[in-house]
């Protein structure tokens, strides 16, 4: 199976976690696109979804799935999203699709984070994938220097403006051995909107698609 087929496989597997009759949190990315398509085809009835991006909102709406504002809910049972990297503890790097801020906001509403990913996303240590950081544009140079102080090389993602009007720095050269401490630390830096380390909002369960089918990591 190629990577696209693995994404479709885990997209379908995630249907087992959809709480029928309840509002669902929906992430962003090509794997989530597969999940949204599978959800629409499944016949599972949900009253609506809280979306983490304009991209997912459009796809949900195209399928006739009602999209609710995050302000309309106080709690979600489940949030389903992809990842750029995930380690054996459920800590993730996210934001390859520049939706990390809204993803963290919707994940924060949810009791359970179900991560769907192909097996290439499983890593020992986070940091090989360039770490996305959403920033306030005027802080770009300052934050680039701060990342350099900890061994990171930050590059502005050209031509990208997030759904929130922010910019994205992609940071290479990091080895994130303590994701919780890293997230705490970088989140304090003025100009950082959201760092793409999901440690406080780690996956509760990960459905990992590989040659042998879907493995469930808890």
Q: Which residues bind ligand 5RP (CB under 6 A)?
A: 27-31, 81-84, 94-100, 103
Q: Which of 54, 85, 103, 183 is catalytic?
A: 103
Cβ(83)–Cβ(117) under 8 Å? Answer: yes
Distance of CA 199 to the CA centre of its chain: 12
The CB-of-93 to ligand 5RP minimum distance in angstroms stands at: 8
Judge whether 82 is annotated as a binding position. yes
Which residue lies nearer to ligand 5RP by CB, 29 or 43? Answer: 29
Q: Between residues 84 and 183, which has the closer beta carbon with respect to ligand 5RP? A: 84
The structure tokens 């680039």 sit at 144
Distance CA 186, CA 217 (A): 27
Q: Which is nearer to ligand 5RP, 82 or 179 (CB)?
A: 82
84 annotated to a ligand binding site: yes
Coil, helix or strand at residue 21: coil
42 annotated to bind ligand: no
Write out the DSSP string of 43-65. Answer: ----S-EEESSHHHHHHHHHTT-
Instruction: Determine the Cα–Cα distance for residues 206 and 183; give it in Å rounded to an integer.
Output: 20
Question: Please, what is the minimum distance in Å from the beta carbon of residue 98 to ligand 5RP?
Answer: 6
* Nearest to ligand 5RP of 116, 154 (CB atom): 116
Q: Is 94 annotated as a binding residue?
A: yes
- 44: closest CA among 73, 70, 65, 69? 65
Q: Is 85 assigned a catalytic role? A: no
Residue 121 marked in a binding site? yes
Asked if 124 contacts 94 with a C-beta cutoff of 8 angstroms, the reply is no
Q: In the chain, count H helices and then E strands.
A: 6, 14
Q: Whole-number minimum distance, CB 55 to ligand 5RP, in Å?
A: 9
* Nearest distance from C-beta of residue 47 to ligand 5RP, angstroms: 24
Residue 126 contacts residue 95 (beta carbons within 8 Å): no
Summarize the annotated binding site for substrate as residue ranges: 28-31, 81-84, 94-97, 121
Summarize the annotated binding site as residue ranges: 28-31, 81-84, 94-97, 121
- Catalytic positions are 103
């Amino acid at each position: 199976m190629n990577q696209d087929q693995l994404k479709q496989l885990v997209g379908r597997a995630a249907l087992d976690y959809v709480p029928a009759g309840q509002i669902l949190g929906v992430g962003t990315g090509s794997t989530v696109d597969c999940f949204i398509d599978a959800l629409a085809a499944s016949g599972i009835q949900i009253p609506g979804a809280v979306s983490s991006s304009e991209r997912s909102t459009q796809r949900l709406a195209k399928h006739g799935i009602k999209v609710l504002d995050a302000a309309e809910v106080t709690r979600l049972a489940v949030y389903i999203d992809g990842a750029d990297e995930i380690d054996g503890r459920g800590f993730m790097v996210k934001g390859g699709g520049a939706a990390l801020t809204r993803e963290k906001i919707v994940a924060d509403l949810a009791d359970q984070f179900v991560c769907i990913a192909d097996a290439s996303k499983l890593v020992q240590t986070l940091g090989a994938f360039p770490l996305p950081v959403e920033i306030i544009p005027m802080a770009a140079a300052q934050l680039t220097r701060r990342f350099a102080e900890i061994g990171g090389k930050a590059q502005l993602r050209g031509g990208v403006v997030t759904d929130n009007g922010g910019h994205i720095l992609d940071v290479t050269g990091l080895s994130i051995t303590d994701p919780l401490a890293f997230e705490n630390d970088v989140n304090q830096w003025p100009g950082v909107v959201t760092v793409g380390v999901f440690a406080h909002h780690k996956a509760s369960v990960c459905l990992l698609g590989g040659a042998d089918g879907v493995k469930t990591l808890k």
